[in-house]
Amino acid sequence: MSTNTEASKIFLFDSTLRDGEQTPGARLNHDEKLEVARQLARLGVDIIEAGFPVSSPGELRAVNDIAREVKGPVICGLARAVQGDIDAAWEAVKDAERPRIHVFLGASDIHMEHKLRKDPALLLEQGVEAVKYARKFTDDVEYSPEDATRARDEYLYELLEAVIKAGATTINIPDTVGYAVPEEFGALIRRLRENVSGMDKVTLSVHCHNDLGMAVANSLEAIKNGARQVECNINGIGERAGNAALEEIAVALRIRQNHFPYYTGINFSEIYRTSRLVSKLTGISIPSNKAVVGLNAFSHSSGIHQDGILKNKETYEIIDAEFIGGKAAQMCLTARSGRHAVLDQLKQLNYSLNEGQLETIYEHFVNLADKKKEVYPEDIEALVLDHLSFAEPRYRLDYLQTISGSKSIPAAVIRLKKEDDSIVEEVAVGAGPIDAAYNAINKITGLSIGLEKYRINAVTHGRDALGEVQVEMSYQDRTISGRGTSTDIIEASVKAYLNGLNKLLKMNGYS
Ligand code: KIV
Ligand code: ZN
């Protein structure tokens, strides 16, 4: 992957499963990570940064399962510039078709002095040793001087020259705190190409954060100045204000080909689906006005615009929704749709389900079709996502009854089934029926879990639509998201809370 051999290809490095998962509350479980990785491969990303393996045994196992199963993209594991991290990263990615180790270490004075508290010369040596160590395992090693946009040029030149000599094959320039502005960032990329000997032999990459809302603009400017790999995340999720949004970069390069003479390996018709999958599994909703994948990106409200669109779409639309997979054929199913039609629809959705899982989803479809006249592909997808983690949850909803009304005290009776099939039951009151139900669950678990965010949306349209609830919950210093769907919004709320609770218990090793 050098700038010489493939001058016009831009390699997309997706870090949704690593930097994206650092979004508060966006924790994914093992099965969810695998499903996202499979979808990223369908989308056609070049590199998947699957995680930070040293962070936990579960993370290492998830990255390793991705490395063994997901074919096509390079599978990369992140490591600090220390042997233990590099050992864990290699252990996780070694079974991939094409494994990569990504090493990072602070390079700005502020990071070296205050965070790492070490002499710059020693840190330079540490970076070099880390690259040499990683090269013992693989010939694909990426090096990131963290906080590069606030580092001194002379230090960066010396450091990068040394790590390239030590064997780094990709040099990634992170704008770790989203401080850069496009012109300045482009100039930095140009200076690095001109002043670092060996830079023409490696892939030059960028990694932009969005604190000032310029991550995508900075990435595009870097491409114009010689970067050939861009690190980005689906829906722009990531630490703090997020990272550059993959879909925005890919679509901008394609729609403005006259300005950007480059191409990517992206399969554009998978963008919409990938975006929704990541949003649903992480619980991080997509703002309606988000570029490319927001709900309003293809809606027109003013009469003048609607009139123009009816006469010729090009009057007010530069991206066709179908181009990014936004308008899948709307074949709707009913209670009378045969088993074959339902299974066929499930297969079209492209999730990797085994026979047993297909059967489970079919049973849930039958129940849903009893309550809802028309079942849309989005409804089926919601059922799949609800049951994606087929691992046995600690608590399942067995029975729910709530009381509410203008003259009554809101109350809830909740009965939960535990993994061993024993039943636990509680009654509680609250400010409303959902609050009462959540209080009852907290009484059962004995944990005082806080509710930070609550959001409800209709999955499709009509009064009988499935309601989808997304919650963000907090417990001690952790936040976790949960989601649940039902035609009954109180039940959907309880399912979302239980989904988050089960994830939390698993993370804390209770189950
Ligand atoms: O933002 C950053 O600096 C990072 C590095 C690990 C590349 O995420
Ligand atoms: Zn980052």
For residue 335, what is the domain's CATH number?
1.10.238
| 386 pLDDT more than 80 | no
What is the per-residue pLDDT across 271-289, written as a single tens digit (0 to 9) for each? 999 999 999 899 888 988 9
**176 in ligand 1 pocket by Cβ < 6 Å?**
yes
Gap from CA of 53 to ligand 2 centroid (Å): 16
Is residue 218, in this structure, part of any structural domain at all? Answer: yes
Q: CA separation (Å) from 179 to 111, 172, 191, 399, 436?
A: 14, 16, 18, 51, 45
| 103 pLDDT more than 70 | yes
**19 in ligand 1 pocket by Cβ < 6 Å?**
yes
Residue pair 143/123 in contact (Cβ under 8 Å)? The answer is no
Mutate to test the pocket of ligand 1, among 22, 47, 104, 211 (most ligand atoms within 8 A of CB): 104
| 6 pLDDT more than 50 | no
Counting from 1 in the atom list of ligand 1, the atom nearest the Cα of 18 is 8
Using CA positions, which residue lies closest to atom 1 of ligand 1? 176
**What's the confidence (pLDDT) of residue 391?**
60
Token pair listed for 353: 């389900």
Structural domain of residue 320, as residue ranges? 298-387
Q: How confident is the prediction for the chain on average, in pLDDT?
A: 91
Q: Mapping DSSP to helix (H, G, I), strand (E, B) and coil, where does residue 397 land? A: strand
Is residue 148, in this structure, part of any structural domain at all? Answer: yes
**What's the confidence (pLDDT) of residue 354?**
80
Count how many domains the chain has. Answer: 3
- Looking at the structure, tell me whether residues 379 and 412 fall in a common domain: no
Among the ranges given (17-26, 42-51, 222-231), the one the predictor scored with the smallest mean pLDDT: 17-26
DSSP-assigned beta bridge partners for residue 207 = 174, 231
Is residue 3, in this structure, part of any structural domain at all? Answer: no
Which ligand has the minimum distance to the alpha carbon of residue 171?
1
Counting from 1 in the atom list of ligand 1, the atom nearest the Cα of 174 is 3
Using CA positions, which residue lies closest to atom 2 of ligand 1? 176
**102 in ligand 1 pocket by Cβ < 6 Å?**
no
Final residue in a domain of this structure, among 364, 387, 410 = 387
Give the alpha-carbon dihedral of 344, 348, 352, 356, to 10 degrees: -20
Name the band, by pLDDT with cuts 50, 70 and 90, for residue 82: very high
Counting from 1 in the atom list of ligand 1, the atom nearest the Cα of 231 is 7
- Looking at the structure, tell me whether residues 257 and 323 fall in a common domain: no
Gap from CA of 482 to ligand 1 centroid (Å): 27
Name the band, by pLDDT with cuts 50, 70 and 90, for residue 298: confident
**What's the confidence (pLDDT) of residue 388?**
66
| 24 pLDDT more than 70 | yes
What's the CA angle centered on 88, arms 83 and 92, to 5 degrees? 145
DSSP string, 414-467: EEEEETTS-EEEEEEE-SSHHHHHHHHHHHHHT---EEEEEEEEESSSSTTPPE
Residue pair 461/455 in contact (Cβ under 8 Å)? The answer is no
Gap from CA of 429 to ligand 2 centroid (Å): 44
Measure the CA–CA gap between 146 and 181, rounded to whole angstroms: 17
Gap from CA of 146 to ligand 1 centroid (Å): 6
- Looking at the structure, tell me whether residues 164 and 267 fall in a common domain: yes
Q: Mapping DSSP to helix (H, G, I), strand (E, B) and coil, where does residue 88 land? A: helix
What is the per-residue pLDDT across 115-172, written as a single tens digit (0 to 9) for each? 999 999 999 999 999 999 999 999 999 999 999 999 999 999 999 999 999 999 999 9
Nearest to 286 by CA among 242, 349, 239: 242
Which ligand has the minimum distance to the alpha carbon of residue 239?
2
Among the ranges given (169-183, 256-270, 426-440, 464-478), the one the predictor scored with the smallest mean pLDDT: 464-478
Is residue 468, in this structure, part of any structural domain at all? Answer: yes
**What's the confidence (pLDDT) of residue 503?**
84
Give the DSSP letter of residue 243. B
Q: Distance from CA of residue 464 to its chain's centroid?
A: 30
Gap from CA of 201 to ligand 1 centroid (Å): 22
Q: Mapping DSSP to helix (H, G, I), strand (E, B) and coil, where does residue 24 land? A: coil
DSSP-assigned beta bridge partners for residue 174 = 207
**174 in ligand 1 pocket by Cβ < 6 Å?**
yes
**What's the confidence (pLDDT) of residue 489?**
95
Which ligand has the minimum distance to the alpha carbon of residue 77?
1
**395 in ligand 1 pocket by Cβ < 6 Å?**
no
Is residue 475, in this structure, part of any structural domain at all? Answer: yes
- Looking at the structure, tell me whether residues 407 and 483 fall in a common domain: yes
| 232 pLDDT more than 80 | yes
**What's the confidence (pLDDT) of residue 4?**
39
Strands 229-232 and 11-14: what pairing? parallel
Name the band, by pLDDT with cuts 50, 70 and 90, for residue 511: very low
Gap from CA of 464 to ligand 2 centroid (Å): 42
Token pair listed for 134: 């990683």
Final residue in a domain of this structure, among 250, 282, 314 = 282
**80 in ligand 1 pocket by Cβ < 6 Å?**
no
- Looking at the structure, tell me whether residues 469 and 349 fall in a common domain: no
| 474 pLDDT more than 60 | yes
Name the band, by pLDDT with cuts 50, 70 and 90, for residue 3: very low
- Looking at the structure, tell me whether residues 380 and 486 fall in a common domain: no
Average pLDDT over residues 238-246: 96
Is residue 293, in this structure, part of any structural domain at all? Answer: no
Q: Give me the CATH number covering residue 97.
A: 3.20.20.70
- Looking at the structure, tell me whether residues 399 and 379 fall in a common domain: no
Name the band, by pLDDT with cuts 50, 70 and 90, for residue 2: very low
- Looking at the structure, tell me whether residues 40 and 144 fall in a common domain: yes
Using CA positions, which residue lies closest to atom 3 of ligand 1? 176
Q: Give the residue ranges of DSSP H helices in 94-214.
A: 109-110, 120-135, 153-166, 182-195
Average pLDDT over residues 419-425: 93
| 92 pLDDT more than 90 | yes
Nearest to 207 by CA among 152, 246, 244, 160: 244
Final residue in a domain of this structure, among 241, 258, 282 = 282
Buried b (16+ CB within 10 A) or exposed e, 116-154: beeebeebbebbbebbebbbebbebbbbbbbbbbbbeee
Q: Distance from CA of residue 45 to its chain's centroid?
A: 13
**298 in ligand 1 pocket by Cβ < 6 Å?**
no
Measure the CA–CA gap between 81 and 326, rounded to whole angstroms: 42
**What's the confidence (pLDDT) of residue 327?**
63
DSSP string, 465-496: PPEEEEEEEEETTEEEEEEEEESSHHHHHHHH
- Looking at the structure, tell me whether residues 399 and 450 fall in a common domain: yes
Residue that wins the pLDDT comparison between 89 and 419: 89
What is the per-residue pLDDT across 317-371, written as a single tens digit (0 to 9) for each? 899 888 998 864 456 788 887 788 888 788 777 776 788 888 888 888 988 888 8
Percent of the chain having pLDDT more than 70?
95
Q: Give me the CATH number covering residue 465.
A: 3.30.160.270
**155 in ligand 1 pocket by Cβ < 6 Å?**
no
Using CA positions, which residue lies closest to atom 5 of ligand 1? 146
- Looking at the structure, tell me whether residues 30 and 176 fall in a common domain: yes
**What's the confidence (pLDDT) of residue 1?**
42
Measure the CA–CA gap between 31 and 281, rounded to whole angstroms: 10
Using CA positions, which residue lies closest to atom 6 of ligand 1? 104
Name the band, by pLDDT with cuts 50, 70 and 90, for residue 510: low
- Looking at the structure, tell me whether residues 274 and 329 fall in a common domain: no
Other Cβ atoms closer than 10 A to 77: 31
Name the band, by pLDDT with cuts 50, 70 and 90, for residue 301: low
Is residue 426, in this structure, part of any structural domain at all? Answer: yes
Is residue 327, in this structure, part of any structural domain at all? Answer: yes
**144 in ligand 1 pocket by Cβ < 6 Å?**
yes
Percent of the chain having pLDDT more than 90?
68
Q: Mapping DSSP to helix (H, G, I), strand (E, B) and coil, where does residue 319 land? A: coil
- Looking at the structure, tell me whether residues 305 and 243 fall in a common domain: no
**13 in ligand 1 pocket by Cβ < 6 Å?**
no
**What's the confidence (pLDDT) of residue 116?**
97
Token pair listed for 281: 């599994």
**What's the confidence (pLDDT) of residue 112?**
97
**What's the confidence (pLDDT) of residue 314?**
87
Mutate to test the pocket of ligand 1, among 14, 15, 17, 19 (most ligand atoms within 8 A of CB): 19
Gap from CA of 200 to ligand 2 centroid (Å): 24
